[in-house]
């Protein structure tokens, strides 16, 4: 703790008490925000794990089928089959606000025709290639959601760290400094009050003593 360098006056103490009240209220609000950010972050991490498993499962199926398709098809037919994709994919990026953090929301749309995922005829291709293409298509949405989830988790983690630093600064530096300074000023004011009271009592004693002496002189003169 470090005491703030101010004049030990009642005006300064009143000002510091107001600042302490504001800092304490801000600390509570930031602590509540940090707790909610952590809650949202953990939910996204849980969702991220599920999306990753789903995407990896689809990709694993696609790669296995693709390897088999390459084994049973000639390289020439494989290249021609995949040269001109038919399916059109659109991704719109929007933002969602989570505790003052703008996180991305990916909206994935494709043509409704299921056959569009096969950019080839079926005469010279294998069923394994069909399975691979379908699995790749199925993996698209969870992969985009996974990207959305990971970016959201990254942005929330940054905000959590920033908020935690502010909470720690208030909790361990600013608020204790205010408290220590207010305590110091209060002690100084009490010392000044005691010193003033002592001086007044001495003055009172001197005035009283002088009044007694003057009365005694008047009495002696009579």
| pLDDT at residue number 155 | 94
What pLDDT, on the 0 to 100 scale, is given for residue 122? 56
Residues, the chain = 222
Give the residue from 99, 96, 95, 97 showing the smallest Cα distance to 37. Answer: 99
pLDDT for the residue numbered 37: 94
Query: What is the rounded distance in angstroms from the CA atom of residue 195 to the CA atom of residue 210?
Result: 22
Contact 69, 132 (CB under 8 A): yes
Classified by CATH at the fold level, domain 10-177 comes out as Helix Hairpins (1.10.287)
Residues 106/149, Cβ–Cβ less than 8 Å: no
Single out the residue of 132, 96, 100, 97 nearest to residue 117, CA to CA: 132
CA–CA dist 219, 197 (Å, integer): 32
What is the pLDDT at residue 87? 65
Q: Which long-range contacts (CB under 8 A, 24 or more apart) does 78-86 make?
A: 78/129, 80/120, 81/119, 81/120, 81/124, 81/125, 81/129, 82/119, 82/120, 83/119, 84/119, 85/119, 86/116, 86/117, 86/118, 86/119
82 DSSP assignment? T
Per-residue b/e over 32-51, b at no fewer than 16 CB within 10 Å?
A: ebbeebeebbeebeebbeeb
Q: Is-contact 189 8, C-beta < 8 A?
A: yes
pLDDT of residue 92: 83
* pLDDT at residue 209 in the model: 78
**pLDDT tens-digit profile of 94-131?**
888 988 889 888 887 766 555 566 555 555 566 777 77
pLDDT of residue 133: 77
| Phi, psi (degrees; rounded to nearest 5) at 104 | -75, 150
Domain ranges of the chain: 10-177
DSSP per-residue letters across 166-196: HHHHIIIIIHHHHHHHHHHHHHHHHHHHHHH
What pTM was estimated for this model as a whole? 0.71
| Regions of the chain with pLDDT less than 50 | none
């Amino acid at each position: 703790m470090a005491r703030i360098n101010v004049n030990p006056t009642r005006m300064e103490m009143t000002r510091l008490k107001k600042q302490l009240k504001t800092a304490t209220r801000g600390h509570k609000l930031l602590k509540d925000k940090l707790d909610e950010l952590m809650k949202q972050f953990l939910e996204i991490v849980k969702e991220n794990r599920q999306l990753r498993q789903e995407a990896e499962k689809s990709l694993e199926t696609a790669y296995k089928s693709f390897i088999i398709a390459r084994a049973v098809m000639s390289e020439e037919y494989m290249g021609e089959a995949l040269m001109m994709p038919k399916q059109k994919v659109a991704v719109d990026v929007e933002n969602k606000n989570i505790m003052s953090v703008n996180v991305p929301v990916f909206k994935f749309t494709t043509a409704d025709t299921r056959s569009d995922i096969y950019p080839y005829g079926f005469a010279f291709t294998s069923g394994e290639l069909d399975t691979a293409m379908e699995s790749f298509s199925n993996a698209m949405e969870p992969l985009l959601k996974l990207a959305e989830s990971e970016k959201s988790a990254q942005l929330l983690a940054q905000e959590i760290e920033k908020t935690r630093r502010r909470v720690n600064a208030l909790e361990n530096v600013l608020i204790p400094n205010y408290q220590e300074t207010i305590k110091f000023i209060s002690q100084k004011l009490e010392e000044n009050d005691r010193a003033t009271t002592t001086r007044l009592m001495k003055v009172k004693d001197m005035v009283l003593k002088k009044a007694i002496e003057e009365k005694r002189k008047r009495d002696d003169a009579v």
